[in-house]
Structure 1
């Protein structure tokens, strides 16, 4: 467990420790890409070192010790990581990867579009997949399919939405690009629905990045917080579906968490139970990731998330951050609240700044002003009715 460093000697020791990390660290995992100085610095941060990290101030509560292989607690507004355990450990994400799928595909498909599903679009669903009940030759609204993704974790709904987004492989590639744009460098996407696939991994850190970004999207936030919905039936009627996130709904004997605003749970035989959860209390919004608890049964993922959320709300303002969810992102997020759509001249928050462009523009304006001043001194003022 890492305690906050306060002296020059302790900081020096920390630098020596991080220097012993492998040269090809996680931030440089993309072959042929120079991660840049900011990414390199982040790769040597505490969060890339194994173990539990927290930097308590006097009076801070003791951090829990969950059984999960990896976990993280972060402030959704600032992106500050309050505590974490093996935050960048690469593990199968199961259906929590659907958070990245939603971030990638939601903006491309208006909710009101109606689509008639073909048999081809439902081909390739893995055996044992969670399904919402999408039927071929049945017409669905895109919003119905998103309810199937968020509430029932339906891999059939993911298949259809991916087909509408350009296909399975194209969607995986776009998800990979989206992850990089968000600064999530541990994630490798092979199967967009989160189904176990060779090489498919994410991390507690990356999943927290996805969850935090999702809270800033109105549609994502509504779907992930929804307890239940009606889904179109094969015969033309409809049936009810309930969110499988038990920490949200209180199903199966799990007590619902006060202030929970959703996000996404998952399970596969390879990944175990995984969860990204967010809750709001006392003016704070926290994001928690729990990956693969090793004890406590099938509901341990919810109880360990509950313990971490309780600790996070109590520890707010009493710990120094051990890292940031913005560490590898080109431009920092401003918080969990959705932003208004950018106007014609607005720069999107996830677009890198262009200081060189501003420098050139500024130089041009200064040059124009100098020329204008020279002409005025030499020839006098320009007549007001003259046009260039």
Structure 2
């Protein structure tokens, strides 16, 4: 027996097939619309907030004063330094700057980079007896703390000699322990590059005037900010007074030469000052890296070679920039950022258990209207942690998900068509 279809049955089958395909297309379109409708509904019910505009490009490479004030922002003070920077130590935002990348002799502020490079390698409790060779080659007129041949020092003593008295003799001994003068200079150069400080060229690790040795206010701000992440660095740079070993069992007092920290020579101490490092040479003039904390904010200010006044001008200009930076909180937009140093290891051997630093100094006076957090030696600066990226607001089923739904719809409709066709075929058998 032959199985076939009559012309009426074939027509019926063709109509059923067309209907099924039409149903498939309608079903697919409906499902695609349904796949998009929830996001559309959410968008309509809760209008999407405008995305923040990308920050304007950095203007730190431009000459002159760079600042982006909002209406009502305080005016930037008149500062005579050839180069300066005011930056937020936590976020890295540069609030204002003047010739930030101008390359100038850094003097002893370069010791910040020396400490960043060598501190992690020499535990503070290590004992070392100084020999004559280690004190050779110290430049004429160098600042000295009084390191002497034959005396045994703790490494922590030597670091206090570096930070408080800016002792080039202490730097020479520590550099010798670190592999030598030339090797230490090369390590410092590599450290500067790893921090993104590309204006710095190191020749003499102690900052002594040497042809070709330069840095910039920007790079010094990077070094100061990175240093505050190291508890030992923060402790040493905030120490105002200490006792230093002499011959036999004798000791003598040394004082930090940063007048904003000590209030010496008629310079008023700055409230909340953490420290960091000052410097002076004939070619560099006066240089300074200063950090201060008011409330929840920590600022880093760097100045290189003020052109007005005498040797104390650098401190008064730093004071005016710090005052401005705290007053301008939320009133200016950044003109650039310090490179992020969080990926660079900040740790170092703890100075705990080392020789006592001498008489404790009183805490910083409270700034009017602001609480003062503990000094950095008690609480090192904490940089913000990276925030995980949130899913995009446009995320949903996407085209791949919608295509899957459409494909399922077509297969379902095809199945309906096949079933109807099979039923129609059975009704036409002879």
For the aligned pair, the TM-score class normalised by the smaller chain equals 0.7 to 0.9
The number of residue pairs the alignment matches comes to 300
Q: Residue in 1 aligned with 2:184?
A: 171
Aligned alpha-carbon RMSD (Å) = 2.2
Q: Residue in 1 aligned with 2:407?
A: none
Q: Does 1:282 align with 2:298?
A: no
Distance 1:288 1:80 in 2: 12
Once the two structures are TM-superposed, the CA of residue 49 in structure 1 deviates from its matched residue by 1.0
Change (3 A) 1:114 1:182: same
Distance 2:342 2:320 in 1: 32
Cα contact 1:96–1:276 (8 A) shared by 2: yes
Distance 1:289 1:157 in 2: 24
Q: 2:207 aligns with which of 187, 190, 194?
A: 194
Where do residues 288-303 of structure 1 align in structure 2 (5 Å cutoff)?
Answer: 288-303=301-316
Distance 1:225 1:195 in 2: 23
TM-score by length of 1: 0.74
Where do residues 309-320 of structure 1 align in structure 2 (5 Å cutoff)?
Answer: 309-320=322-333
Cα contact 1:71–1:204 (8 A) shared by 2: yes
Cα contact 1:91–1:203 (8 A) shared by 2: yes
Instruction: Say which SS state the counterpart of residue 293 (structure 2) adopts.
Output: strand
Once the two structures are TM-superposed, the CA of residue 284 in structure 1 deviates from its matched residue by 0.5
Q: Residue in 1 aligned with 2:164?
A: 151
Q: 2:66 aligns with which of 49, 53, 71?
A: 53
Once the two structures are TM-superposed, the CA of residue 260 in structure 1 deviates from its matched residue by 0.2
Where do residues 320-359 of structure 1 align in structure 2 (5 Å cutoff)?
Answer: 320-326=333-339, 331=343, 338=380
Which consecutive unaligned segments of at least 5 residues does structure 1 have? 1-6, 12-41, 341-348, 350-388
Once the two structures are TM-superposed, the CA of residue 234 in structure 1 deviates from its matched residue by 2.5
Cα contact 2:90–2:381 (8 A) shared by 1: no
Instruction: Say which SS state the counterpart of residue 223 (structure 1) adopts.
Output: helix
Distance 2:270 2:324 in 1: 13
Distance 1:295 1:57 in 2: 29
Distance 1:94 1:339 in 2: 25
Cα contact 1:188–1:199 (8 A) shared by 2: yes
Change (3 A) 1:333 1:231: closer
Higher relative contact order (CA 8 A, sep 6+): 2
Once the two structures are TM-superposed, the CA of residue 101 in structure 1 deviates from its matched residue by 0.3
Cα contact 2:228–2:381 (8 A) shared by 1: no
Encode CA deviations 1:182-210: one digit per residue, 9 max, x unaligned.
Answer: 11000000000000001000000000000
Once the two structures are TM-superposed, the CA of residue 263 in structure 1 deviates from its matched residue by 0.2
Instruction: Say which SS state the counterpart of residue 311 (structure 2) adopts.
Output: coil
Q: Does 1:109 align with 2:122?
A: yes
Which consecutive unaligned segments of at least 5 residues does structure 2 have? 1-52, 347-375, 386-430
Q: 2:263 aligns with which of 226, 232, 250?
A: 250
Q: Residue in 1 aligned with 2:198?
A: 185
Cα contact 1:326–1:332 (8 A) shared by 2: no
Change (3 A) 1:54 1:183: same
Distance 1:115 1:267 in 2: 29
Encode CA deviations 1:75-106: one digit per residue, 9 max, x unaligned.
Answer: 00000000000000000000000000000000
Rg: which structure is higher? 2
Q: Residue in 1 aligned with 2:281?
A: 268
